[in-house]
Chain A
Amino acid sequence: MKQTNTHLLIKYRMPALLFTLLCVVSIILPYASVGENSIRIFTLFSLNDFAKTMAGLYIAGVICSLVIKVLVMVRPIKSIARMALVLDVISAGSYSVLLFGSKSILDKAGIFDAGFMVKDFGIGYWLGLVMAYVALTFTMKLCKISTGYIVLTWLSIIWLFPILWIVLTSLRAESGYYVGYFIPRGFTLDNYKALFSKTSVIPFGKWWFNTFIVAICSCIISSMIVLMTSYVLSRVRFSWRGSLMRVMLIIGMFPGFMSMIAVYNILKGAGLSQSLGALIVVNVAGAAMGYYICKGFLDTIPRSLDEAAIIDGATRFQIFTRVTIPLSKPIIIYTVLTSFIGPWGDYIFPSMLLGDKQNSYTVAIGLKWMTDFRRINNYYTQFAAGAVLVSIPIVILFVALQRFYVEGLSGAVKG
C-alpha cells in the first residue's frame, strides 16, 4: 500500500515484467511436436495468412510489451502502462485463438502426417499461453483494473455460445441437424418465413398467439391471487394462518403431473377440457402456493404504515390497495414476470390437456414436436427460428425489468 502513485500499483510492475519475459523465452521453445517431428512457432509464418497474423501478433505483442514494461520500471506513467496492457490482451488473445485454430492450420498445411491434436502442443505453447495470462493479470493489477474482466469475458463466451448457436442456426440456409461447422455457409430468413407460411405444417403464428393469450391471462390472474394471498398471510393474524401456511408448503411438494389425469377429468367434468381456458384455469389454480417469495417481501414493508392508515380510518382493503400495492412494485413485477414466462415453457401439461386440438396448441408443444427424432433433421433450423421468436418477448421484458426483479427477489429473501 505504500508504493502507490495515483494511477498505478507499482509493486506489480516487477512480476508483470518477469512473466512477459517468460513469454518471450517461450517463443524459442518447441511449439508443437508429434513423435519425432517438432516445430517452433516461427513455422506458422510459412503457412497461411491467419496463422501468420496470429503468431505475429503474439510475438510482436510479448516483445513490445517487454520493452514497454522495462520502460515502466524506469518511469511509471499511466499511459505507458496502459499500452503494455493492450499488448498483453493482444498476446493472450492471439494465443487463445491458436489453441482452437492450430489443428486446422497445421493439418491443412500437412505439417504432421498423423494429424495434430491439442495434446501435441509443446512446452513452448503451454508456457507461453499460461504466462501470457499471468502477465496480463499483473499488468491489470498494475493499472488498477480488476482482473475479474478476464473471468467475466470467458464466462460470457461460454454463456453466449448456445445462444449464438441457436440464433445462427435460425438464420442458416442449409437445413439439417448435423452440420460440421459453426458459422452457416448461407444466411436466410426463410426459416422464419416458413413458420408463418400458409403451407407450413405448424401454424406457428396461431400457436404463438395462443401462448401469448394464456400467458397474459395467467399472469394477471395469478399475480392477483399471489398478492392477495401474501397480503393476508403477511398482515392478517387469524387462527388458522399458521397451519394454512404449512399445509400449502407441503401440498406444493407433490409431483404435480402424477395427478394430471385427475385434473384432466375434473376439467372435463366442468366442460373445460381441450381449451385454452382450461390451461389458464390450471395455471392459476395453484398460484396461491407460490406465496412464499411475495409474502417475504411484504413482511419487509413496515407495519407502522398500516397502523397509521388504520388510525386514519382506512379499511384493510383500502390499506391493501393504497398502501401495500404502491409499495410493492418490485415484487409485483417479479410475480408478473415469472407467471408470464411459465406458459411459454410449459410442455407436459398442455400437451396432454389439449389432445388433438391443434389450433389451441401452445408454442412449447410445437417446438417439442419439431425436435422429435424423426423430424429434427428437417425442422432443426425452423425449430431454432421458433425458439428465437419465443425468446424475444421474454428477453425484452426481462432485460427491461431486471432491476425490479432483483429488488423484488432480494427484498423477499431477506425476509
Chain B
Amino acid sequence: MKTINNKNKNGLVNVFKEGSLFNRLSFLIMGLGNICYGQIIKGIMFLAVEVMYILYMIRSGVNNLAGLTTLGTKQQGMVIDETQGIYVMEAGDNSMLILLWGVVTIVVSAVFLLGWYLSVRSGYEAYKTVKSGKKPANFFAEIKSLANQNIHIAFLTVPLLGILIFTVTPLIYMILMAFTNYDANHQPPGNLFDWVGLANFKALASSTGALAATFWPILAWTLIWGFVATFSCYFLGIFLAILINSKGIRFKKFWRTIFVLTMAIPAFISLLVIRTMVGENGILNVLLQQWGFTAQPLPFLTNGTWAKISVIVINLWIGIPATMLMTTGILMNIPAELYESAQIDGAGKVKTFIYITFPYMIFVTTPYLITQLIANFNNFGVIFFLTEGAPLSLNYYKGAGKTDLLVTWLYKLTTTNKDYNLAATIGIVIFVISAVFSLISYSRSGAVKNEEGFS
C-alpha cells in the first residue's frame, strides 16, 4: 500500500510558505481553506470544532489549566449557621478534582491541536487540487472513502477515543500524582495537596528507611515470581499438551476438557476456594492430618517461605491448562516430516523434544511468553485473592506483606494507607520495568519481524 500522504510536502511551515492567503488564514480560522476551495461542509465542521473548543476553554478550560499550577488554594472550612445554630460546610477547592480536570483539559487541547493540524493540511490539499485544475473531493466522496482507503479512520476512531478517555487521561493523571504530596495527611476535600517535585522518587530510592526496606525486597520477589510463575506454567503446560497429544492416548478431548474446566471457572472463584482449602483448618490440612501425612497443620499461606511456594504452585493449577490449550494447537502445526525424519534417524522422545518440538515452540511463542511475563509481574488477582500479600512483615512499611507484588502493594497503599503519591511513584516504576522488557522483546521477536512476510 502506498501511504496516502506525503509527509514532507505537507509540513505546516510548507503550508504557510506555499499555501494561499486562505490557507494562511486557516491557521487562525479553521476550515477557511476548505470552505474557499469548495469543501464547504467539511470546512464548516472544522469551524464548528474550533468554536466549540473556544467556548469550552472560556467556560471552564482556562480555569482548569490555571488550577493545575496551584492545585487549589481555598481550604474547606466549617462555619456556624446562626439561624439554625449548627455548623455548615463551606466548600473549598478539591485538589484531586482540580488535577483531574486540568488533565482532561490538556487532553482535550491535544485532540484539538490534532484537529487544527489536520484542518490546515486539509485546506492546503484542497488548494493544491484546485490549483492543478481538478475539483476537490466533495463531502460525500470523503464519507465514502471511509469505507475504503480511509477505513482505518472509520474503524479506529471509537476504539481510540475509548482508550484516550479511559486509559490515557487517567494515566497522565496518575503520573502527575507522583509529583504531589497526595498522601494520608493531605486528603481532599478537607485538605489541599500540592506539587512536591521529585520528593517521592527520592524517598523511594534512598537506601535507608522502611520504605526502601520494603521496596527492594518486594521488587525482588516480583521479579522472582514473574519468572518462576511464567516459566513453570509454560514448561509444564507444554509437557501436558505433549502428553495429551501423544500417539497412544485416546479420548484426547476428554482429557483436555478436564483441565479446561479449571480455566472456565472464573479465576477469583477458584482462588478464593483454594484459599479456603489450604487455610490452617482448611480441608487440605484436615485431610493431610487424617491421612497421617503430617501431625500439625501446614502453614501453606501463613509462613512467608511456604506462602511464596504455595502461590507459585497454586498458580500452576490455573496456568498450566491455559498453556496446554495454546500449545495444543501449535503442536499440531509442527510439520510432521520433521518428526518422521527424526524417527528415521533413531531419535528418542527426549531428543525429539529437545531438537524439534522445543525450538519450534520457543520460536513461535516468544511473544506469548513475554506478554505472560509482564502479566505475571502485574498478576494482581492471584496474590490479592490468595493471600492479600500476607503474611505481614514487621520489617516492611506498614501493610506490606511477604507475598506482596509491587502491584498489590500499590493497591494497599491507595486503599488502606491512602498514600496515593507513593502508589503513583511505584506505578511508574512498574511501568518502566514492563515497558523495557516488552519493548526489547517486541522489537526482537520473530513474530513482529515476520509480520510483513504475509503481506
Residues of A with Cβ closer than 8 Å to B?
99-104, 115-118, 120, 144-146, 148-149, 151-152, 155-156, 158-160, 162-163, 165-166, 177-182, 225, 228-229, 231-232, 236-239, 241, 244, 246, 248-263, 265-266, 269, 281-282, 284-289, 292, 296, 299-300, 302-303, 315-318, 320, 341, 344-345, 347-348, 364, 367-368, 371, 376, 380, 383-384, 387, 390-391, 394-395, 397-399, 402, 405-407, 409-411, 413-415
- The answer to whether the Cβ of B35 comes within 8 Å of any Cβ in the partner chain is no
What's the nearest-Cβ distance from chain A to residue B272, in Å? Answer: 5
A100 engages B268 (CB within 8 Å): no
Q: How far is the CA of A402 from the CA of B163 in the complex (A)?
A: 30
* Given A118-B292, A390-B266; A316-B147 close (CB under 8 Å): yes
Partner of A238, one of B4, B272, B371, B430: B4
Which A residues are CB-close (under 8 A) to B295? 117
Contacts of A341 in B (CB 8 A): 264, 266
CA distance A263 to B100 in the complex (A): 10
Q: Check A229–B104 contact: CB distance below 8 A.
A: no
Produce 1/0 per residue, B433-455, CB < 8 A to A: 01100110010000100110011
Asked if B266 contacts A254 (CB within 8 A), the reply is no
Contacts A225-B158, A258-B423, A266-B104 known; A166 to B169 CB distance under 8 Å?
Answer: no
Contact status B169-A148, CB under 8 Å: no
B435 & A258 in contact (Cβ 8 Å cutoff):
no
Known: A253-B378, A320-B151. 17 other contacts (CB 8 A): A103-B290, A115-B292, A238-B152, A246-B439, A254-B167, A256-B167, A262-B100, A262-B170, A286-B163, A315-B147, A316-B147, A318-B147, A345-B268, A348-B380, A387-B273, A390-B269, A410-B333
Which chain B residues lie closer than 8 Å to A380 at the CB level? 276
6 tightest Cβ-Cβ pairs between the two chains A and B: A410-B329, A146-B248, A259-B170, A345-B266, A103-B292, A288-B159
Q: Which residue of A225, A256, A259, A387 is within 8 Å of B173 (Cβ)?
A: A259
Q: Which of A258, A269, A387, A391 lies at the interface centre, i.e. has the most chain B CB atoms within 10 A of its CB?
A: A258
Query: Residue on A with the closest CB to B245?
Result: A148
Complex CA gap A161/B350 in Å reads 31
Indicate if B62 sits at the interface (CB-CB under 8 A): no
Which of A117, A145, A288, A367 is close to B248, meaning CB atoms less than 8 Å apart? A145
Task: State whether B155 touches A229 (Cβ < 8 A).
Answer: yes
- Min C-beta distance of A161 to chain B, whole Å: 9
Q: Which of B1, B97, B264 has the most CB of A within 10 A?
A: B264
- Residue contact A265 to B100, C-beta cutoff 8 Å: yes
Does A410 lie within 8 Å of B328, measured CB to CB? yes
How far in angstroms is the closest Cβ of chain B from A297?
11
- Report how far A347 CA is from B7 CA in the complex, Å: 46
Q: Is the CB of B455 within 8 A of A162?
A: no
| Best-buried of B166, B174, B291, B414 by chain A (most CB within 10 Å) | B166
Decide: B269 and A316 in contact? CB cutoff 8 A: no
What is the CA–CA distance of A368 and B385 in the complex, to the nearest angstrom? 9
Contact of B435 among A155, A250, A302, A414 (CB under 8 A): A250
Report Cα–Cα, A232/B152, bound state, in Å.
Answer: 5
Q: Complex Cα distance A368/B269, Å?
A: 9
Bound CA–CA A47/B327 (angstroms): 50
Interface members, chain B 278-320 (any A CB < 8 Å): 281-283, 286-287, 290-295, 317
CB pair B407–A255 under 8 Å, yes or no, is yes
> In the complex the two chains form, what is the Cα distance from A397 to B100 in whole Å?
41
Q: Are B283 and A413 in contact (CB under 8 A)?
A: no
Q: How many A-B contacts if CB must be within 8 Å? A: 303
- Chain A residues within 8 Å of B277, by CB: 162, 165
Quick check: A394 and B427 within 8 Å, CB to CB? no
Cβ–Cβ contact B435 & A368, under 8 A:
no
- Chain B residues close to A by CB (< 8 Å): 1, 3-5, 7, 96-97, 100, 103-104, 147-149, 151-152, 154-156, 158-160, 162-163, 165-171, 173-174, 240, 243-244, 246-249, 253, 255-270, 272-274, 276-277, 281-283, 286-287, 290-295, 317, 321, 325-330, 332-333, 364-365, 367-368, 371, 374, 378, 380-381, 384, 407, 410-411, 414, 423-424, 427, 430-431, 434-435, 438-439, 442, 447, 450-451, 454-455
Contacts of A345 in B (CB 8 A): 266-269, 381
The closest CB in chain A to the CB of B101 belongs to A269
Give complex CA distance A238, B407 in Å: 36
A155, A255, A371: which has the most chain B beta carbons within 10 Å? A255
Question: Across the interface, which residues of A come within 8 angstroms of B292, CB to CB?
Answer: 102-103, 115-118, 120
A contact residues around B246 at 8 Å (CB): 146, 148
Per a CB cutoff under 8 Å, which of B257, B274, B410, B424 touches A399? Answer: B257
B159 touches A292 (CB 8 A): no
- State in angstroms the CA–CA spacing of A413 and B238 once bound together: 14
CB-CB < 8 A to B5: which residues of A? 239
A250 and B151 contact, CB distance less than 8 A: no
Which chain B residues lie closer than 8 Å to A248 at the CB level?
A: 163
With a CB–CB cut-off of 8 A, which chain A residues contact B167? 251-252, 254, 256, 285-286, 289
Q: A162-B277, A255-B407 are in contact. Are A286 and B166 (CB under 8 A)?
A: yes
Q: Which residues of A have CB within 8 Å of B243? A: 148, 151-152
Contacts of B147 in A (CB 8 A): 315-318
The answer for the CA separation of A115 and B291 in the assembled complex, in Å, is 11
B306 to chain A, nearest CB (A): 19
Interchain CA distance A151-B236 in the complex, whole Å: 13
